[in-house]
Structure 1
Amino acid sequence: MIKPGDTLPDHDFTFVTDSGKSTTSLHALLANKKAVIFAVPGAFTPTCSQAHLPGYVTLADEFQARGVALLCLSVNDAFVMRAWQQSQNAEAITMLADGDGAFTQALGLAKDTGGFGGLRAQRFALLAENGVVTQVCVEAPGKLDVSSADAMLRLV
Structure 2
Amino acid sequence: MQAVRRVISRPAVLRAANLGSQRFLQTSAALNIKVGDKLPAVDLYDGNPGTKVNTSTFTGKTVIFCVPGAFTPTCSKDHAPGFIKHVDALKSKGVSKVVCVSVNDPFVMAAWAENLKSDGKVHFLADTCGEFTKAIDLELDATGLLGNVRCKRCSMVVEGGKVKALSVEPDGTGLTCSSAADVLKMV
Q: CA deviation at 1:107?
A: 0.3
Q: Does 1:122 align with 2:152?
A: yes
Structure number with the bigger relative contact order (C-alpha 8 A, sep ≥ 6) is: 1
Tell me the alpha carbon deviations over residues 69-94 of structure 1, each in whole angstroms, 9 at most, x when there is no partner: 21101000111000001110112111
Q: Conserved in 1, the CA contact under 8 Å of 2:45 and 2:128?
A: no
Secondary structure at the aligned position of 1:16 is classed as coil
Query: By percentage of residues, which structure has more strand?
Result: 1
User: By how many angstroms is 1:145 displaced?
Assistant: 1.8
> What SS class does the counterpart of residue 51 from structure 2 fall into?
strand
> Identity of aligned pairs, percent?
39
1:85 lines up with 2:116 in the alignment = no
Q: 1:104 aligns with which of 102, 124, 133?
A: 133
Q: Does 1:151 align with 2:150?
A: no
Whole-angstrom distance in 1 between the partners of 2:79 and 2:53:
25
What is the Cα-based RMSD across aligned positions, in Å?
1.4
Rounded Cα–Cα distance in structure 1 between residues aligned with 2:44 and 2:150? 16
| SS in structure 2 at match of 1:4 | coil
Q: TM-score scaled by structure 1?
A: 0.92
1-structure distance, mates of 2:90, 2:46: 22
Deviation, structure 1 residue 24: 2.2
DSSP 3-state at the match of 2:100: strand
Which stretch shows the higher mean deviation, 70-79 or 7-16? 7-16
Task: From 75, 80, 100, give the equivalent of 1:53.
Answer: 80
Runs of 4+ in 1 over 4 A off after TM superposition: none
For the residue of structure 2 that corresponds to 1:37, the secondary structure is strand
2:65 is the alignment partner of 1:26: no
SS of alignment partner, residue 88 of structure 2? helix
**TM-score (normalised: structure 2):** 0.77
In the alignment, what sits opposite 2:20? none
Count of matched residue positions in the alignment of Structure 1 and Structure 2: 152
Q: Deviations over 1:86-139 (max 9, x none)?
A: 110112111120011111011010111123222010010111102100111011
Distance 1:52 1:25 in 2: 23
Residue 44, structure 1, aligned to residue 92, structure 2: no
- Is there any run of 5+ residues in structure 2 with no aligned partner, and where? 1-31
Work out whether 1:3 is the aligned partner of 2:63: no
SS of equivalent residue, structure 2 residue 150: strand
- Residue in structure 2 matching 1:95, options 124, 130, 134: 124
Letter in 1 for 2:102: S
User: Is the contact between residue 70 and residue 104 of structure 2 (CA under 8 Å) also seen in structure 1?
Assistant: yes
Instruction: Report the structure number with the largest CA radius of gyration.
Output: 2
